[in-house]
Every structure is written in structure tokens, then in C-alpha cells.
């Protein structure tokens, strides 16, 4: 039995393998990706989902990734899309740009002319006729988290592993240029024995400790905190942590339009106030959020659609922002402090649990003395 | 009567004015170009050609420019296309890239968000959500001859004139980003009294003289020259000059697939051998071109389609290439020596006419002594 497989098969085996576990590849065949597409059938349980055009394929792949992310038990969303050089890949750009804007993990694989054709600067079809084969790669780089070009057989599997990893972890499309003549290059099969490491990088422990203390301090000083769950909470798989924070804090909470339906966020709980979308919100939601003196924002994606055309009336000085790749506590930004690990540590913190208890006691006391019935009892009304 | 007009009206008046004389503007309305489109109706005889999507609009505009170029009496082809920021303009890219690859003059006007929205980095719809409003401009720059962004009212008319001029002269798409809030900025109406200068830059006279001498020398030494007319001959309006060269030289001539149908090139003349497309040519065309010891190539566009998948068997050392922006005489390249003026001077050259006479005499003699009848008469057979 051969101890090598083709590079094309390696790519699809990686995508099919756990932890990714893709079963579908979307796209449109074209001159420069035909040999590559042949390799899909070599991977068991991996299926080609041919689409009627590349834009459809990009949207299908985007949807697949979203559903896989928010719907599956574990892990982030991911999808893969195959187009052909030039006219094919350009047709997919609007879909890919949408995935970039909304943090959707996706690998855009583009079958490109052979390395020799590029070296000789052939005026091939699908080119601009100027001998520059990197134009479309450059165009896509503006809407990609990272890009990779396969040109060296020895390094090719590393390039593949890198672009998959970055697309997955950052939940942004990666672009992979795959020359037609590299599809059958043999690579060691044993590389597949070690699954891809798709773990999110660990936060710096000392800096994270500092952030946790700051956040707890802000919560302690706040009288009326509120939690907002937004789109990137689900996209970056922080829903369980956010749900636990909601449960143990007993704070009121809202979602945004794009955060609505986030898995694990209970919308039946009395503490759930509804959907906050700036001036377009129901009055009670607007009041609950905007009168709060501390907003804990998880995975915000502040597009005009998602904010009621930027009609948020939350003051920056009252906000703690938990993001996939940084954290902001009021005015202070902490780069590389990622929300999933930070929220995980936060909800385990005994100090925070103590603060929540104080909050609960205080809020119960206030309720006792300030509800109409209590006021009547106390002769205030 | 007001002595100023809106910048939007200025743009469309320029496009409608001679020497361009556009009567149609193609495109698709969208949030960020609506106020701009309103200005089209202010220009007499200018019509909005709304399309069902931006890709269609780009192809319609491309076709309009080609027909205007090869079909009209004078001047180069030109068309104008209006799309909206982000998703709209990205949908047009394949069409615009095609115009770039095949030397089609076109202005791609994109209605973009207001300058203020950009300054404040609003997470507006159609953006990538990263506050970078220049992304789509950067993407288009790879398939544009030049680009321009309107951001200063005082300089705006100059930016408009420049992008039109460069798109026209170089027969490549230009990209113009037009912010929504700049449409009604007043500009002096009197600017329109001076029509746009769309003259092709003059060649350096001394260098041009050197090139003419070299070309005549090569023609003098050649025994069996052939002329090939290709796509860029029509695109850069050198058809009359090429036609005259064919007439006065009496050389045999061919077109390429993309050069076929070039205005003024007579396909009924006995000296017209047919369409040369490398190994896919009819045998007599292939022989006529490939056995020639001097190919005079006018406006070559050597794509795989146009060359029978690169099956040209012309030796570089036997070729004089006349291009829109340079000339190549065998191995020597002369930058900025543009074919239209060069061919114009060449066909007026008395020295060249003398060489043609010698060629004609020689070719008549050869015919006299080498046709089967002549050989019989001379007792050779």
C-alpha cells in the first residue's frame, strides 16, 4: 500500500477529517480546477455540491459554515468553496466579502494555471493579458483573513494546513491558489495521522488576570448591568460561556438582531428583555439597555443593520466589550485577549460569584422597598 | 442664469459632450448612487440604460464602447457604467476585467458613501465592517488603467477630466469613486466651454524618426513581408493607417480572429490571405504567414484564443510590432512610440514608397520567371 497520496487528496482529506469534519464542498467546475475536483471522490463521505454559478456557491458555503457553527455541538463553523481562476473566482467575491464582513469561517480554493504557464507569462484565457497571474490573488487578499499559494511541493501541505487553521480560528475566509499541475504531487500520507491543531491560541495569563480584575471591579461598582449577546458570540463559539454568565449573574440581557437565535441563549427567561437595535427597539428594551450603567457586550458586530442605523445610545465609558481577538474595558483595549477563554475564566472566578451575590442581595432589597406594594406597605404612597 | 452646475451634472455633461458624445449611461441604481443618477436627466440627449444587474451593465457598456470605436467615423470607443458601493461594483468586476484585458475604453463610476461617513468609519452596509472604505477601490485598481476618488470640491472636475482622458486614450477602464454628498457641489459651468483634450500624446520626433528608418530598413531587406491586423488596431483607431499601409505596400495580409471585421480592412482583396490563428489556420494562411521573413504586426493581442492556443510559429526576430503604447522592431523595444502616429508618418514616407516600388518590381520579376508558364517559356520545364 502506498505511503503517499496526492496533494489534492490531502487537501480534501484534511477538510473531511475531524475536527473540521466537512461532508460537502461547494463550487463550480472550470478548466483550472477539474483535476483537483476529481480528488473529492477519493475521500469517503465527502460530497461535491456543484452550483449553478460561483456566487450561489459562495452563499451556499457561507450558510453551511454558519449552520455548522451555531447548530453543531462543538467547535466553530467552517465551509469550503472551489472556483476556477479569474472569471470563476471573481464571480464569488460578493459572497466571500459577505463572509469576511460577518465573520464566517471559509476556505476559498481556486484552481489556477500550472506553475510553468505562470513562469512563461502565457497570455492564457482568464488572464488580463499582461502576464500577471497574481492579480486575482491580490484582489481577494482584501477580503481574506489570509492567503496562500501552492508553488513548492515540499511546503504545500504546510500551506494548506495554515490557511485552513487561520480561516477556522479567525472565522474569516482564507484564499488558497492551487495550480493545476500540483494536484498530483505526492505527499506523505502519514501527515494525516496527526489531526490539524485548531485550538484557539491561549491568552497571556498575566494580562488575562489583569483584565478579569478590571471587569469584576466594573461589575462591582455598577448598579444596573445588562448583558448584550451579538453575532460574533455564536460565530466564535462563546455561547456556552455567555449563557453561563447570564445564569450566574442574574443580570437582565438582550440580543441584537444578528445575535437573536444564538444557541444556548434562553429567550424565555424573564430576565431576557428582547432585541436591542438602537432607536428601533421596543421602548422597554431601549430603556433597559440605555439606562444601564454597565453594558457587558459579547461578540458585537456593529453594522448599520444591526444597530438600527447606528442609533445605539450606549456610552462607550459604560461598556465592556468581549471580542474574538481583543477585549475592551471602558476606554482600555487589551489586544489578543480572546473572549472565549476570558469568559470561561471569568465565570469560574470566585470573586465574581461573590460580586453577583452582592448584586442579587442589593437588587432584592431594592425590590422589597421600591415595588408599589412595598411602598404602600411602608406608607410611601 | 447660474454660472455654476452641480458636480454630478458636470460629469455627465462631459461624457455627453464632444469629442466623447455618449448618449447612453449603463448601470444599476443603488443607495449610494441615487442622487448622482438624478443628474443624467439634466443632460439633453443622455439616457439612462438601467440593467437587471451590474454584470449585464458592464458587458452592455463594453459592447457599446466597442461598437462606438470600430463602427463610428472617428475616434476611439468609450462607454460609461454606474454602480453602487461594495456589492454593486463587485458584481461588475468580471465585465470590467474583460474590458481591461481586451483594451476597451470605459469609465466605471461608483457611488460611494459620503465623505463624513468615511471619516467616521461608520460600519455602514456594503462595507466589510472594518472601517476601511477604500477596499473596493483597491480591488478595482488591479483591473483599471487609472483610478480617481472625489474628495475635494476644488479638485473634483480635474479628477473627472483625468480619469475620462486616461480611460479613453489608453482604452482601459478607469475607476471613479463618487461620494454621495459631492453630487451637488457647485462647479463653474464655464469649464464645459473648453472641450476635453483627448488627443493621443505625440511621439518623440527624433526617436520616431529612428524607428521609421529601422522599419524601412527591415522592409527593404525582406523578400516576402506580410501584414497582420489584430484587435488593438481597431481599438486604438489605427485602421485607416493600416489600410493605407496595405494598399501602398501591396504586401499580402491577414487578420487574427479578434482582428477580423476591422473597419477599413478589405477582406475581398486578392492579397488578403485570411485569418491567421497559428496551427488552427487554413494551410495557405499558415504558410503565407509563417514562411514570411518579415511580419508587420499591427495591434497584436496575443491571447490563447487569438493565437490558436499559442501555436504561432512566427519567429520573434522576423517581427515588427506596432502597439498602442510602444513599438518593437525585431529585438529592440521603443517605449512610448505609439502606432497611430508612427504608422501615419510611415505611410507618408517617400523612402518607404520607393522601397515598396522595388518590392513590387522584384515580385513581378519573380512572378515572370517562376510561374509554371514562364518556366516553360524559358525551357526550364
* Mean pLDDT estimate for chain B: 90
Q: Output the pLDDT for position A309.
A: 67
Q: Output the pLDDT for position B360.
A: 76
Query: Which chain B residues are Cβ-neighbours of A134 within 8 angstroms?
Result: none
Half-sphere exposure of B67 (CA within 13 A, CB side): 8
Query: Which chain A residues are Cβ-neighbours of B124 within 8 angstroms?
Result: 303-304
Query: Which comes out higher in pLDDT, residue A269 or B278?
Result: A269
pLDDT at B219 over 80: yes
Query: Cα separation of B196 and B160, whole Å?
Result: 10
pLDDT at B237 over 50: yes
**Chain B: residue whose CA lies nearest to A130:** B101
A interface test, pick of B56, B86, B89, B97 with most A CB neighbours within 10 Å: B97
A46, A37 contact by CB (below 8 A):
no
The answer, for A116 touching chain B at a CB cutoff of 8 Å, is no
Query: Cα separation of A264 and A323, whole Å?
Result: 18
Give this prediction's pTM. Answer: 0.86
Query: Which chain B residues are Cβ-neighbours of A175 within 8 angstroms?
Result: none
Is residue B317 very low, low, confident or very high in pLDDT (cuts 50, 70, 90)? Answer: confident
The answer, for B301 touching chain A at a CB cutoff of 8 Å, is yes
Query: Which comes out higher in pLDDT, residue B43 or A301?
Result: B43
Is residue B129 very low, low, confident or very high in pLDDT (cuts 50, 70, 90)? Answer: low
The answer, for B117 touching chain A at a CB cutoff of 8 Å, is no
**Chain A: residue whose CA lies nearest to B89:** A94
Query: Which comes out higher in pLDDT, residue A379 or B117?
Result: B117
B131, B123 contact by CB (below 8 A):
yes
CA angle A374, A375, A376 (to 5 degrees): 90
Backbone angles phi, psi at A373, to 5 degrees: -65, -45
The domain ranges of chain A are 4-192, 205-369
pLDDT at B381 over 60: no
A312, A278 contact by CB (below 8 A):
yes
Query: Which chain B residues are Cβ-neighbours of A127 within 8 angstroms?
Result: 101, 303
**Chain B: residue whose CA lies nearest to A132:** B142
What are residue A326's DSSP bridge partners? A335
The whole-number average pLDDT for the span B337-350 is 96
Q: Do A90 and B91 touch (CB under 8 A)?
A: no
B263, B135 contact by CB (below 8 A):
no
Most confident listed range (A287-291, A339-343, B133-137, B310-314)? A339-343
A interface test, pick of B32, B84, B141, B142 with most A CB neighbours within 10 Å: B142
B73, B138 contact by CB (below 8 A):
no
B interface test, pick of A142, A171, A310, A316 with most B CB neighbours within 10 Å: A142
Query: Which comes out higher in pLDDT, residue B380 or A71?
Result: A71
Query: Which chain B residues are Cβ-neighbours of A303 within 8 angstroms?
Result: 123-125, 127, 129
Q: How far is CA B138 from CA A226, B120, B159, B162, B356, in A?
A: 40, 20, 17, 18, 50
Query: Cα separation of A240 and B318, whole Å?
Result: 73
Q: Do B303 and A143 touch (CB under 8 A)?
A: no
A interface test, pick of B31, B90, B308 with most A CB neighbours within 10 Å: B90
Q: Output the pLDDT for position B362.
A: 74
SS (H, E, C) chain A: CCCEEEHHHHHHHHHHCCCCCCCEEEECCCCCCHHHHHHHHHCCCCEEEECCCHHHHHHHHHHHHHHHHHHCCCCCCCEEEEEECCHHHHHCHHHHHHHHHCCCCEEEEEEECCHHHHHCCCCCCCCCCCCCCCHHHHHHHCCCCEEEECCCCCCHHHHHHHHHHHHHHHCCEEEEEEEHHHCCCEEEHHHHHCCCCCCCCCCCHHHHHHHHHHHHHHHHHCCCEEEEECHHHHHCCCHHHHHHHHHHHCCEEEECCCCCCCCCCCCCCCCEEEECECECCCHHHHHHHHCCCEEEEECCCCCCHHHCCCCCCCCHHHEEEECCCEEEECCEEEECCCHHHHHHHHHHCHHHHHHHHHHHHHHHHHHHHHCHHHHHHCCCC
B interface test, pick of A90, A170, A316, A325 with most B CB neighbours within 10 Å: A90
Q: Do B94 and A90 touch (CB under 8 A)?
A: yes
Reported ipTM: 0.81
What are residue B25's DSSP bridge partners? B48
Q: Output the pLDDT for position A357.
A: 86
Half-sphere exposure of A317 (CA within 13 A, CB side): 0
The answer, for A270 touching chain B at a CB cutoff of 8 Å, is no
Per-residue pLDDT tens digits of chain A, which is 381 residues long: 579 999 999 999 999 999 899 999 999 999 999 999 999 999 999 999 999 999 999 999 999 999 988 766 578 999 999 999 999 999 999 999 999 999 999 999 999 998 877 666 565 666 666 667 889 999 999 999 999 999 999 999 999 999 999 999 999 999 999 999 999 999 999 999 999 999 999 999 999 999 999 999 999 999 999 999 999 999 999 999 999 999 999 999 999 999 999 989 999 999 999 999 988 999 999 999 999 999 999 999 877 677 776 667 777 678 999 999 999 999 899 999 999 999 999 999 999 999 988 877 777 665 544 445 444 544 444
Percent of chain B with pLDDT over 70: 88
Q: How far is CA A203 from CA A170, A200, A243, A324, B249, in A?
A: 15, 9, 21, 11, 78
Q: Do B90 and A94 touch (CB under 8 A)?
A: yes
pLDDT at B369 over 80: no
Q: Output the pLDDT for position A148.
A: 96
Helices B350-370 and B339-348 cross at an angle (nearest 10°) of 70
Q: Is B187 helix (H, G, I), strand (E, B) or coil?
A: strand
Query: Which chain A residues are Cβ-neighbours of B142 within 8 angstroms?
Result: 135, 138-139
**Chain A: residue whose CA lies nearest to B142:** A135
Query: Which chain B residues are Cβ-neighbours of A124 within 8 angstroms?
Result: 303-304
Query: Cα separation of B301 and B325, whole Å?
Result: 13
The answer, for A365 touching chain B at a CB cutoff of 8 Å, is no
Query: Which chain A residues are Cβ-neighbours of B122 within 8 angstroms?
Result: 304, 310
pLDDT at B195 over 80: yes
**Chain B: residue whose CA lies nearest to A308:** B124
The answer, for B111 touching chain A at a CB cutoff of 8 Å, is no
DSSP state, residue B268: S
Is residue B270 very low, low, confident or very high in pLDDT (cuts 50, 70, 90)? Answer: very high
- From A127, A135, A304, residue closest to B123, measured CB to CB: A304
Q: Look at the domain B205-369 and name its fold.
A: Rossmann fold (3.40.50)
Query: Which chain A residues are Cβ-neighbours of B256 within 8 angstroms?
Result: none
The whole-number average pLDDT for the span B345-357 is 93
- From A123, A128, A307, residue closest to B143, measured CB to CB: A128
pLDDT at B133 over 90: no
- From B93, B127, B303, residue closest to A93, measured CB to CB: B93
B22, B48 contact by CB (below 8 A):
no
A293, A224 contact by CB (below 8 A):
yes
Task: Determine whether B261 is exposed, middle or buried from the number of CB atoms within 10 Å of its CB (0-12, 13-18, 19+).
Answer: exposed
Query: Which chain B residues are Cβ-neighbours of A305 within 8 angstroms?
Result: 125
Q: Do A302 and B123 touch (CB under 8 A)?
A: yes
pLDDT in tens, B238-267: 999 999 999 999 999 999 999 999 989 999
Class (C level, CATH) for A4-192: alpha beta
Q: Do B86 and A102 touch (CB under 8 A)?
A: no
pLDDT at B367 over 60: no
The answer, for A142 touching chain B at a CB cutoff of 8 Å, is yes
pLDDT at B375 over 60: no
Query: Which chain B residues are Cβ-neighbours of A310 within 8 angstroms?
Result: 122-123
Is residue B374 very low, low, confident or very high in pLDDT (cuts 50, 70, 90)? Answer: very low
Helix, strand, coil percentages in chain B from 3-state DSSP, rounded to 5: 45, 20, 35
> Dihedral angle at the C-alpha atoms of A175, A178, A179, A185, nearest 10 degrees?
150
Q: Is B111 helix (H, G, I), strand (E, B) or coil?
A: strand
Q: Output the pLDDT for position B380.
A: 44
The answer, for A115 touching chain B at a CB cutoff of 8 Å, is no
Exposed e or buried b per residue across A247-256, where buried means at least 16 C-beta atoms within 10 angstroms of its C-beta: eebebbbbbb
Query: Cα separation of A165 and A176, whole Å?
Result: 12
Is residue B275 very low, low, confident or very high in pLDDT (cuts 50, 70, 90)? Answer: very high
Domains A4-192 and A205-369 share a fold: yes
Q: Which of B30, B38, B34 is nearest to B12 (CA)?
A: B38
Query: Cα separation of A379 and A364, whole Å?
Result: 19
Give the containing element (helix H, strand E) for B14: helix B7-16
If contacts are CB pairs under 8 Å, which of residues 310-349 in chain A contact chain B?
A: 310
- From A102, A135, A310, residue closest to B122, measured CB to CB: A310
Q: Do A142 and B139 touch (CB under 8 A)?
A: yes
Amino acid at each position: 500500500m502506498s505511503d503517499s497520496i496526492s496533494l489534492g487528496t490531502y487537501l480534501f482529506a484534511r477538510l473531511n477529517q475531524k475536527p473540521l469534519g466537512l461532508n460537502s464542498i461547494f463550487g463550480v467546475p472550470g478548466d483550472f480546477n477539474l483535476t483537483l475536483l476529481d480528488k473529492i471522490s477519493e475521500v469517503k463521505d465527502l460530497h461535491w455540491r456543484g452550483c449553478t454559478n460561483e456566487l450561489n456557491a459562495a452563499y451556499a458555503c457561507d450558510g453551511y459554515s454558519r449552520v455548522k457553527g451555531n447548530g453543531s455541538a462543538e467547535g466553530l463553523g467552517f465551509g469550503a468553496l472551489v472556483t476556477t481562476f479569474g472569471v470563476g473566482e471573481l464571480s464569488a467575491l460578493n459572497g466571500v466579502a459577505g463572509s469576511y464582513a460577518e465573520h464566517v469561517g471559509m476556505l476559498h480554493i481556486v484552481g489556477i494555471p500550472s506553475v510553468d504557464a505562470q513562469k512563461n507569462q502565457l497570455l492564457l484565457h482568464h488572464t488580463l493579458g499582461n502576464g500577471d497571474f497574481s492579480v486575482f490573488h491580490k484582489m481577494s487578499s482584501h477580503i481574506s483573513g489570509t492567503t496562500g499559494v501552492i508553488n513548492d511541493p515540499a511546503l504545500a501541505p504546510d500551506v494548506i494546513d495554515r490557511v485552513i487553521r487561520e480561516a477556522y480560528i479567525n472565522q474569516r475566509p482564507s484564499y488558497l491558489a492551487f495550480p493545476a499541475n500540483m494536484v498530483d504531487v505526492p505527499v506523505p500520507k502519514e501527515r494525516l495521522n496527526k489531526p490539524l491543531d485548531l485550538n484557539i491560541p491561549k491568552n497571556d495569563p498575566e494580562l488575562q488576570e489583569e483584565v478579569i480584575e478590571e471587569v469584576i471591579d466594573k461589575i462591582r461598582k455598577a448598579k444596573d448591568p445588562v448583558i448584550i449577546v451579538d453575532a460574533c458570540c455564536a460565530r466564535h463559539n462563546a455561547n456556552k460561556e455567555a449563557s453561563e454568565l447570564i445564569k450566574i449573574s442574574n443580570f437582565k440581557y438582550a440580543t441584537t438582531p444578528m445575535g437573536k437565535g444564538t444557541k444556548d441563549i434562553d429567550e424565555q427567561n424573564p430576565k431576557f428583555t428582547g432585541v436591542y437595535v438602537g432607536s428601533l427597539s421596543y421602548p422597554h428594551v431601549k430603556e433597559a439597555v440605555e439606562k444601564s450603567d454597565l453594558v457587558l457586550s459579547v461578540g458585537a458586530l456593529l453594522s448599520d443593520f444591526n444597530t438600527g442605523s447606528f442609533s445605539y445610545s450606549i456610552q462607550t465609558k459604560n461598556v465592556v466589550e468581549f471580542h474574538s481577538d481583543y477585549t475592551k474595558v471602558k476606554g482600555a483595549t487589551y489586544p489578543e485577549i480572546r473572549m472565549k477563554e476570558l469568559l470561561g475564566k471569568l465565570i469560574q472566578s470566585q470573586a465574581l460569584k461573590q460580586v453577583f451575590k452582592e448584586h442579587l442581595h442589593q437588587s432584592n432589597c431594592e425590590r422589597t422597598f421600591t415595588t408599589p406594594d412595598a411602598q404602600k406597605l411602608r406608607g410611601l404612597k
